[in-house]
Amino acid sequence: MRTHHHSTHHAPRPHGPAATSEHHDELVDVLTRLAHAITSGDGRAAAQLWDAPGFIIGADTVMAVSERDQLAAMFAGARAQYNAHGVVDTRPDIVDEDWLDDKLVVVKVRWPYLDALGREVGAEASDYTLRRDPAGQLKLRIAIMRGVEPGKH
């Protein structure tokens, strides 16, 4: 599985008191690594992008994250679930990016479902809050699952 790094989606400008192009590039890198880890079935790599405590919430999910092993197990099965629906790839299309300060960003992301030919066959969306860890790395702390977009799936 390959993760598309090029987006045809025109992202809005990052905003907020600490918005810079360097911060934007760092955020895109984290989200792209998350996409690659999930679409390749590497739950441990996906979990490494998180810090605890964390929280994931959606219509059918509420999960407090106290350790990365919980996330690794959850993400490990995602590839098979997507593949069962013909989805082999994705990319982060940033819809909104709000840097509250140098350490905290809230981002809304659309994840297109891409088939083996790179055609979009659906999408889902999530909001994330990322915070810098003590080493200065952006880590996911909160995910709000907006769910699958209505339409072709």
> How does pLDDT run across 2-16, given as a tens digit for each residue?
444 444 455 678 888
Quote the pLDDT of residue 13: 82
| 4 inside domain | no
Give phi and psi for 83, each to the nearest 5: -60, -35
| 70 inside domain | yes
| 35 inside domain | yes
Kindly report, residue by residue over 89-125, the tens digit of the pLDDT: 999 999 999 999 999 999 999 999 999 999 999 999 9
Tell me: pLDDT of 153 over 80: no
| 137 inside domain | yes
Q: In the predicted model, what is the mean pLDDT of the chain? A: 89
Kindly report, residue by residue over 15-36, the tens digit of the pLDDT: 888 888 999 999 999 999 999 9
H or E stretch covering 122: strand 120-132
Quote the pLDDT of residue 152: 56
Quote the pLDDT of residue 9: 52
Quote the pLDDT of residue 78: 83
The domain tally of the chain equals 1
pTM of the model: 0.88
Tell me: pLDDT of 135 over 80: yes
CA-based R_g, the chain, Å:
15
| 1 inside domain | no
Contact 65, 140 (CB under 8 A): no
Domain that holds residue 27: 21-148
Quote the pLDDT of residue 11: 63
Which CATH number characterizes residue 31's domain?
A: 3.10.450.50
| 31 inside domain | yes
Quote the pLDDT of residue 42: 94
